[in-house]
Structure 1
Amino acid sequence: MTLPLALETAALGKTFGRTRALDGVDLAVPAGTVFGVIGPNGAGKTTLMRVLLDVIRPSSGEARVLGSDPRTGGPALRRRIGYLPGELRLEGRITGRALLNYYAGISGEVRPGSADRLAERLGLDLDRRVGTLSKGNKQKLGLVQAFLHEPELLVLDEPTSGLDPIVQQEFLALLREARDRGQTVFLSSHVLSEIQQAATDVAVLRAGRVITVSTVDALRQTAIRHVRAELEGVTAEGARRVLTGIPGLSALELSATPSPRLTASFTITGPIDGCVKALAGFTVAELVVEEPDLEESVLRLYHDGETR
């Protein structure tokens, strides 16, 4: 069954003077999914989100948000969305509780006690004045504001900025719960591990263009692994002859260790099955395989995009 789309763009473009911040972005985000956009600072992530929310208007192309044109959706569409901007600015003279009460009056119905429950999970004191809060606590307040009314769509720009690791894990739990309730989450980050833990699908953005759209699992299948194996009873020549036949192998280095071991270090791109089968022909004294490095995979995608 094909899911309805929560977000859709077609040839979406945005220019600022001579700078093209978005260059023909095509995206389709199914409802009820957690969709991540990864890219370095300046890739166009924030501009894309602002266009989708009608904070700024596109220069070309089209966008649909929850089935509506964001330029004409008005307050009714806004109330269906929870938004955490990347550059969070909050009124500092009032308490967090008063600020959330104000937002609740704008966004619509909020379940009783929701603000306190979210604040407790994130470790946030709602009775302190906003101006006295640290960057991390202001970020928590922004997250509570976005999640408060359980919107159909959450748009989160660099949501874990300033959060400590424990709070980051609680935030990921909130995302999973939102997904299980059928909410759609569209989040951006320049930290790939964050997207890897949170999202099922990811778009890689570079210089305003989508390089690729993939499931996180599929991207992981193309990921780079670093392997170090200590082999016994084999010569360097014999090991090289077998190991060079491994699909996706590169950067092979062989070094003698105290007899009778030989250390083989190499990199594999893609599935590891061929490596396992090749090593099965040796006596392996020790084997270390690093977890798939998606960061390196995405950097390779950026490099490939530059050479096209």
Structure 2
Amino acid sequence: MKKVWKSYGARAVLRGVDLVVEPGCLVGVVGENGAGKTTLLRTMVGELAPDHGTVHREGEVGYSPQETVINPLLSVAQHLELFQEAYRLPDVDRALALLRVLGCPDALEQRAGTLSGGTRQKLNLVLALMHQPTLLVLDEPYQGFDWDTHQRFWRLARELRNGGQALIVVSHLVHDLGQFDTVYELRDGLLTQGARAS
């Protein structure tokens, strides 16, 4: 994105934001509540149109918003089949593998409405990942995760990055900052780059 502005009424949430996420890079975005992090991501993936500036995306995009996109009446398996059709995938093997990686391979027949918050978030993440997008955009993707799943998530994120995918993750956890190749802070509508993580 280049010189992107986005306002809600008289309030400018994004004020000329520039951001490039390269393939094989794991990028973090931090900022106070209300700073506009979710607006930034929604504009990046095309859910919101910028008031000014341009957004350019190459390849497939996967987006895992804070609010899960699941239907409480459908089972986990039905969600996978629905998104398989939407993504035009030959099978759901990738999704099943991701469920195993995240530690919930036995939830297929459960209705989404009966899942714990952490398991719903795992499903939300799998649905964003199952078509192997070029760019993966994650808005605090590990809400409700226990420590083991939190660590599984970061191992998966590193594997995806090492495989050439671009990832951008909004995080509010200070101890996660070392996971990123680059960290940006969104403050007063502007995005500033921090030091490269070691």
Shift in CA distance, 52/29, structure 1 to aligned 2, threshold 3 Å: same
Higher relative contact order, structure no. (Cα contacts within 8 Å, ≥ 6 residues apart):
2
SS in structure 2 of the partner of residue 27 of structure 1: coil
Q: 2:81·2:92 contact (CA, 8 Å) conserved in 1?
A: no
1:44 maps to amino acid: G
Alpha-carbon shift at residue 123 of structure 1 (Å): 2.4
Alpha-carbon shift at residue 89 of structure 1 (Å): 3.4
Counterpart position of 1:85: 65
SS in structure 1 of the partner of residue 18 of structure 2: strand
CA distance in 1: counterparts of 2:38 and 2:97, whole angstroms = 29
SS in structure 1 of the partner of residue 56 of structure 2: strand
User: 171, 181, 190: which one pairs with 1:189?
Assistant: 171
* TM-score (norm: length of structure 2): 0.92
Q: Which runs of 5+ in 2 are unaligned?
A: none
2:71 maps to amino acid: E
Task: After TM superposition, list the pairs within 5 Å mapping 1:75-224 onto structure 2.
Answer: 80-109=60-89, 113-124=93-104, 125-197=107-179, 199-217=180-198
CA distance in 2: counterparts of 1:64 and 1:211, whole angstroms = 20
* TM-score (norm: length of structure 1): 0.61
Deviations 1:216-239 (A, max 9, x none): 23xxxxxxxxxxxxxxxxxxxxxx
* Pairwise CA RMSD: 1.6
Counterpart position of 2:45: 53
CA distance in 2: counterparts of 1:185 and 1:90, whole angstroms = 22
Q: Which has the larger displacement, 81-90 or 204-213?
A: 204-213
Deviations 1:94-114 (A, max 9, x none): 101111111111123366522
CA distance in 1: counterparts of 2:4 and 2:192, whole angstroms = 14
Q: Which runs of 5+ in 1 are unaligned?
A: 1-8, 67-76, 218-308
CA distance in 1: counterparts of 2:144 and 2:158, whole angstroms = 21
SS in structure 2 of the partner of residue 41 of structure 1: coil
Q: Does 1:15 align with 2:3?
A: no
Identity %: 36
Q: 2:6·2:14 contact (CA, 8 Å) conserved in 1?
A: yes
Deviations 1:146-168 (A, max 9, x none): 12121111111101111111001
CA distance in 1: counterparts of 2:155 and 2:193, whole angstroms = 27
1:166 maps to amino acid: D
CA distance in 1: counterparts of 2:141 and 2:45, whole angstroms = 16
1:192 maps to amino acid: V
Count of equivalent residues = 196
